[in-house]
Amino acid sequence: MVDPEELYGKLVSGNSSTVRGQADSVGDAIKKVKESSSRVAEAAERPKWTSDASTAYKLRTAGLTQGLNVNVFALGRMQTALRSGASAYDAMASKAKEVIPPWRNRPAGLNPVIEDLLALGVHLGLVTIAASYSSRLRTIAAFASGETIDENALDEDTRKWLANGMDKTAEWLKENGGGLGPQIPNLGLGGDDRGLIPQGLGIDPDTGWIIQTNYSKNGDPSTLSMIDPTTGREMVDVQLGGTEEIPTPDHAGGVASDGKYTYVTSSGDPSHVFTYLTSDLRKGGTEPVDPIGPPTRIPSGAGAYGTVKDGMPYVGTHSEDIGGGGNKYDGENDDGRMYRSISDGHGGWVPDPSFGGGTGYVHTPPQAQGVVVRDGEYVFSTSLGRDNPGRLITQERQDDQPGNGDRGDPYELPYMSEGIIELDGNIIATYESGADYYGPHADSSVDDDDLWANPYMTKTSLEALGLSPDF
């Protein structure tokens, strides 16, 4: 007879507190490396003379600083992996404790055949839990190793572009306490030569994968990527098909999925939403994936971003006029607009006439690039320009009234923020700053030293925005 207690004992013999202690130790190491990086940066500024020797010295110290910053990122991944491992163990042990009671509480004198079947059933339940846990640990181990950029494959200008951006990202992490997410796929900064520009961000609720849309300014089809948020690995890279009139979603500014369908916005004039079978997208392949039918027309310009909340699509415009700059604006003419749709009962969508107190839309901050719709508020990603910071701006939901609810102070992000999602208590943002189109020498009006090429998605905690999780 199989004894479930043997496997159960092995499963619950660990100690997640020890693993979390190791994560804290890695955190201490991160602080020390950051301190070393700061001291090296200070040393680099000490030479006040101008000479070849001074230039060489500064180049050497800059290289050392960059190396230290790369180590900070690597240690940060390790710390996240350890914490994830501890949480995975706790979840596994909790499930195991739910499975074992029927065996432990079996009545005395149970028929031997029934007892054997009970033992086997409980054991199989524990085996399933163990297999799931092992798979989770393999995923966490893959995350710890991380996706990396092969700098040897980059030319000198691109390496400098990357190094300058990484320096700025390290400083942002230090000042804001944010974190890094997966590497942004298909960037020129990472060696991709297709000229793709990241735009929308969504989540596949069935797999948990992050969905990112990308477009090209050279006329090639827009693409869709799916990224495992735990490992950072790109699982899907596929072209988006369209119709004879619109061969691919123009700009592909927003993306969202309800599991069965994935919606991609097209910001042409008029603007549209294309609907794809998510199962078709997950298959990937070299041929474009066609939508299930003609696209749904939406208000002009409202394809800048999009999401789905409680089964209802939200789409919005990107308004460039910012009045006084930042979160200041001259009035509603500076604002963008966000629209909500409801089902027409026949598989399509129609505008929600009650939204915005009957206006059909609510006002949004200017420069909106993405949105997370929460129970009590909206969180917008905003940005404009290659040398201006992105921002996260919260706005109180006021769906039954015209205008907009109160807005919080902006939380600064790296330059050129685009789509956002909420995942595991964080707002995840993607960026277009690492696209070839925005690379060095692409715009003579912007100094290359002012660029901020960020190859990673960023994580900003809800707490940092004054928010708490929705339940």
- pLDDT, tens digit, for every residue of 208-230? 999 999 999 988 999 999 998 87
Residues 170-197: tens digit of each pLDDT: 788 778 877 778 889 999 887 788 999 9
Cα separation values, 102 from 44, 53, 91, 223, Å: 66, 76, 19, 50
Cα distance between the two ends of the chain: 44
CB proximity list for 346: less than 8 A, separation 6 or greater: none
Closest by CA to 290, choosing from 335, 330, 247, 328, is 247
Helices 112-145 and 52-99 cross at an angle (nearest 10°) of 170
- Give the span between the Cα atoms of 471 and 139, in whole angstroms: 27
Closest by CA to 456, choosing from 27, 84, 143, 148, is 148
Question: Coil, strand, or helix at residue 405?
Answer: coil
CB 165 within 8 A of CB 132: no
Whole-number average pLDDT of the chain = 87
Residues 367-419: tens digit of each pLDDT: 999 999 999 999 999 999 888 899 999 999 999 988 888 999 999 999 999 99
DSSP character at residue 406: -
Residue 291: pLDDT band (50, 70, 90) is very high
- Give the span between the Cα atoms of 381 and 392, in whole angstroms: 5
- Give the span between the Cα atoms of 443 and 56, in whole angstroms: 28
Domains and CATH numbers, the chain: 4-145 (1.20.1260), 160-465 (2.115.10)
- Give the span between the Cα atoms of 321 and 463, in whole angstroms: 30
Report the pLDDT value the prediction gives residue 329, as an integer from 0 to 100.
Answer: 45
Report the pLDDT value the prediction gives residue 241, as an integer from 0 to 100.
Answer: 96
Report the pLDDT value the prediction gives residue 205, as an integer from 0 to 100.
Answer: 95
